[in-house]
Every structure is written in structure tokens, then in C-alpha cells.
Structure 1
Amino acid sequence: MPVYICLLRGVNVTGYNKIKMEELRALCTKLKFEGAQTFIQSGNVIFRCPETNEAALAKKIGDAIEKKFGFRPEIMLRTADELRAVVAANPFKKRKDVPPDRMLVHFLLSEPLEEVRTKLNGTEKIEEVHFKGREIYIYFPDGIGRSDLRSVLDRTLKKTATARNFNSVMKILEIAETLESGTN
């Protein structure tokens, strides 16, 4: 049975769109997902589910969240295999000067259009931006909070992406692999 990683956009940010992780796990159990586990408060839930249609699965999750919590976040789904590929494709993996907490992976609903690529590549000053499939890898040497690229990202990507730092990506993958092995 596939293991899915569900990344919710804009959950528990500055007091808005609040979801307690125990309530998110309970919601997943109600949806008949197996082994649901969450990681930190930003809306990461990992579970097993026989569904193979990701669009239908995202809709099912979105509908349930909207009914229970009164808002509908964007939902980025990846399988454990896809998340492994994200980790393997990390363009910074051989660079010791890139701390994993300063490198974000932006998970997108679909591959970015050429105009998005052009706009983001044209705005980087000290940040490094790399595109790979439905992900954008960005290194923020001074941190994202001090970056001018942050506002450009929000305007350019709109609500079609959510980001996690690489430490979080690795921990989420670890949880997914534990679920795959059946040792949860």
C-alpha cells in the first residue's frame, strides 16, 4: 500500500488556519488512512492509503479539512518514492557551505511554467534557485526572513506551493520509510 506525504499550505501560520496535529491525525483515521503520523505543527501528515489517484485523494483530504475546520488549504501530495527522489535531486547535497535549515524545498502542485522560472531566476540576488520537476530548491544564505525573494515567491507561486526546510524534508522521509517498513 502506498505511503503518502501530505503537505498542507498555510496551516498554523501566525494564528490563522489552525489545526492541532492530533485532530489532523484523527481526521486521517476517520478517512481510513493507516498509520497517520504528523511532524511539527505546519501541516505535515504521513500515512498509508490504497488510493492511487492523487487528485482524488487531495480532494478527499481538502473536503474533510474544510468540513471539520472551516477552511481549505492547498494540498501537495507526494509518495515516499517521490520524496526520496526529491532528496536525491537536492542540488546542494555536496556543498558543505549550505546548512539544511537555510535551504527550502518548495513543493508545487505542478511543474512551474517557464514564466515562473524566468521571474524567479531574474530576481535572485544572493539566493540560489534550482528547479526540478514539481520542486524548487532555494538556498537562503541569510535566512528566508531577510530575503527579498520571499515576497516575490508568494506573488509568483500564489497558493500553489508550500515550503519545508531540508531538515524537515529528511525527517518526513524518515517517518515515511518507517511506515513503509511497517515498523510504526
Structure 2
Amino acid sequence: MTTYAALLRGINVGGKKKVPMAELRGLMEGLGHHGVRTHLQSGQAVFTADRGDEQSLAAELTEAIEAHFGFPVDVLVRDHAYLRAVADACPFPAAELAPKQLHVTYFSAPVDAERFAAIDQAAHLPEEFRLGDHALYLYAPDGLGRSKLAEALSRPRITKGLIATSRNWNTVVKLVEMTAG
């Protein structure tokens, strides 16, 4: 069996797309997953599965959530090895930064620099971003809520054709720990 994290995009924000974590755990157990645990209320679930791959598990969960809750939710599923590799590859000094200053956006497919070429990084300093494997690392010293760079990075022309969901550094680290088995 493999341990995975399911990352749900845009739930329980501002009273919209409410997905109670207890219901999500029950739904996932009903799909045959084991050891289902959730982290916070913002859409992280860790589980083990003895069948499928990341894409098929994400598709299955996306379909089940819409059928159960009545609205679509984008879902990414990633295994421990990937989550660990993303954390280990962080180009910023994570240990020296407050967790609210560092974020990872996970993407459903690889992204290249060309997709972000229109963003003038110098105009957003001291905020910075770097690309990784299906991921983007964002340093936002004043936090994500005040980040003009985060706003620019989330524009539809940048994310077109992708599922993209961001997590702060605390959650990145917690998901690595939770999926370690």
C-alpha cells in the first residue's frame, strides 16, 4: 500500500464549498481507502491505497466529492516521495523564514518558465518565486494575503489548463510528516 495526500482546492473558504472533514474522511473510507486522516479544515487528507495511481485516485475523489456534496472540487493526489522531494528542493531558506512567508503551489502538470515570462519579478521584490517539479515556491515576506506577486501568479492566463493549489510551509512540512507512514 502507498500513502498519499489529497489536496483539495478552494474548499471551506468564506463559507463556500463547505466540506466537513469528518464527512470527507467517511467518503474516502467508503471508496476503500485506509488510515484516512485530515489536517486542518482547508482540504488536506492523508490516506493509504492499494490500487490506482495519483491521477486515477484524484479523478475518483473528484467525482465522489461532486456526487456527495453537489459541487465540483479540484483535487491533486501526491505520494510521500514527491512531497518529500518538493520540501527538500525548496530554493529558499525555509528554516530561517516564518511559515507564513513561504508557500508552495502544487500543479497538476509540469510548468515551465515560459508560462511565467510576462511577470516582472523585479517589480515585485522583495517577493520572489522559483519553479520546481510540478510546483512553484513563493516567498512573500508580508504573507500570502498581502502578496501582489501571488495575485499575479494566480491569473487565469498563468494557470490555464492546470489545477493549482497552494499551501503554506507549515502545511507542506506537516504533509511530509503525515505521509511518512
Question: TM-score over 0.5 for the alignment?
Answer: yes
**Quick check: 1:105 aligned with 2:122?**
no
2:159 aligned to 157, 160, 164, which one? 157
Percent of pairs identical after alignment?
A: 36
The CA distance in 1 between the partners of 2:108 and 2:120, in whole Å, is 19
**1:69-107: CA deviation from partner (whole Å, max 9, x where unpaired):** 0112111111011111011111123662x2222100001
1:142 alignment counterpart:
142
1:172 aligned to 149, 171, 175, which one? 175
8 Å Cα contact 1:108-1:134 kept in structure 2 = yes
8 Å Cα contact 1:86-1:135 kept in structure 2 = yes
Spell out the pairing of 1:21-36 with structure 2 (5 A cutoff).
Answer: 21-36=21-36
Matched positions, count: 177
Q: 1:58 to 1:121 in 2, by over 3 A?
A: farther
Deviation at 1:36, TM superposition (A): 0.3
Q: 2:138 corresponds to which letter in structure 1? A: I
**1:144-166: CA deviation from partner (whole Å, max 9, x where unpaired):** 11121232122122562100001
8 Å Cα contact 2:11-2:43 kept in structure 1 = yes
Q: TM-score, normalised on structure 2?
A: 0.90
Q: 1:84 corresponds to which letter in structure 2? A: R
8 Å Cα contact 1:25-1:38 kept in structure 2 = yes
The CA distance in 2 between the partners of 1:2 and 1:121, in whole Å, is 41
What is the SS of the residue equivalent to 1:119?
coil
What is the SS of the residue equivalent to 1:35?
strand
Q: 1:168 corresponds to which letter in structure 2? A: T
What 5-or-longer segments of structure 2 have no aligned partner? none
Q: 1:140 to 1:30 in 2, by over 3 A?
A: same
The CA distance in 1 between the partners of 2:136 and 2:167, in whole Å, is 11
Could you say what the CA RMSD is over the residues aligned between the two structures, in angstroms? 1.7
The CA distance in 2 between the partners of 1:117 and 1:111, in whole Å, is 13
